[in-house]
Amino acid sequence: MSFKYFTVNEFKCQETGENEIKDEFIVALDALRHQCGFPFRITSGYRSPNHSIEKKKEKPGTHAQGIAADIYATDGHHRFLIVKNALELGFSGIGVAKTFIHVDIRTTVPVIWSY
């Protein structure tokens, strides 16, 4: 499958090199990038269940399911636009940190949090 703004390799696990990112997630992220109108740098995409962050969890999270990414963002206006457009496009998990925005397409109750 071909995507407008991203390649599958951008989402590989930083510790294991595995990559089970879901095409449907990249399609959704492509739409978010298009709507925002500025480039995204992915700081974390797919994480293997063996990734050190996922191993600490009781159950592997949305990164390990291949339906999440962290987008580098340190500018308040860019963070706002990512969150606003992610909500409009139906992303159901949004986390706001000082240097990134987490977005995912979980199928459970929608949530938003800060780090």
Sequence ranges of the domains in the chain: 8-114
**Amino acid letter, residue 67:** I
Counting beta carbons within 10 angstroms of the beta carbon of residue 26, is it exposed (0 to 12), middle (13 to 18) or buried (19 or more)?
Answer: buried
The average pLDDT across 66-71 equals 98
Render pLDDT for 6-29 as a digit per residue (tens, 0 to 9): 999 999 999 999 999 999 999 999
Average pLDDT rounded to a whole number, residues 92-114? 97
User: How far apart, in Å, are the Cα atoms of 9 and each of 14, 48, 72, 100, 106?
Assistant: 11, 14, 17, 19, 22
DSSP E strands, the chain: 42-44, 68-72, 93-96, 100-104, 111-114
| CATH 3.30.1380.10 corresponds to the domain 8-114 | yes
In this structure, the chain runs to a length of: 115
